[in-house]
Amino acid sequence: MTIDNIIVLAKKILDVLLVWALLYYILKSLRKNVKMILLFKGILIIVITKILSDLLDLVTIGYLIDYVIEWAPLALIVIFQPEIRDALESLGRAKFLGRHKTLTLSQREKAVTEIINAIKFMQSNKIGALMVLERDVSLANYINKSQKIYADISAPLLSSIFYTNNPLHDGGVIIEGDQISCAGAVFPTSTSTVISKRLGTRHRAALGIAEQTDCLAIIVSEETGRVSVAEEGELTYNLSLDEVRSRLLEGLTPNRKVNKKEDSYEEN
**Tens digits of residue pLDDT in 94-152:** 554 444 467 788 889 999 999 999 999 999 999 999 999 998 888 888 998 899 999 99
- Is 79 in the same domain as 118? no
- Which residues fall within 8 angstroms of residue 52, CB to CB, at 6 or more apart? 58
- Structural domain ending residue among the three candidates 39, 62, 93: 93
- Is 135 in the same domain as 180? yes
Instruction: Collect the ranges in the chain with pLDDT lower than 70.
Output: 1, 26-37, 79-80, 82-101, 255-268
Does any domain span residue 218? yes
Residue 69: its pLDDT value, please?
Answer: 81
Residue 99: its pLDDT value, please?
Answer: 46
| Helix extents (H) in 58-154 | 59-79, 81-93, 105-124, 140-143
Q: How many domains does the chain have?
A: 2
**Neighbour count for residue 34 (Cβ, 10 Å):** 14
CA distance 240 to 252: 18
CA distance 214 to 94: 9
CA distance 152 to 97: 25
Residue 104: its pLDDT value, please?
Answer: 83
- Is 110 in the same domain as 88? no
CA distance 182 to 225: 23
Residue 92: its pLDDT value, please?
Answer: 57
- Structural domain ending residue among the three candidates 59, 93, 127: 93
Instruction: Tell me which amino acid residue 22 is.
Output: L
- Is 36 in the same domain as 132? no
- Is 233 in the same domain as 152? yes
The edge-to-edge listing of strands for the beta sheet with 179-185 is 147-152, 179-185, 172-176, 129-133, 216-220, 227-231, 234-239
Helix count (H) and strand count (E) of the chain?
9, 7
DSSP 94-112: B-TT--S-PPPHHHHHHHH
Tell me which residue range forms the domain holding 191: 105-256
Q: Is the model's pTM score more than 0.85?
A: no
Integer CA distances (angstroms), 121 to 124, 125, 129, 163, in order: 5, 6, 11, 11
Residue 138: its pLDDT value, please?
Answer: 83
- Is 159 in the same domain as 182? yes
- Is 127 in the same domain as 236? yes
Angle at 221 between CA 173 and CA 190, to 5 degrees: 65
- Is 78 in the same domain as 125? no
- Is 139 in the same domain as 227? yes
- What CATH number is attached to the domain comprising 188? 3.40.1700.10
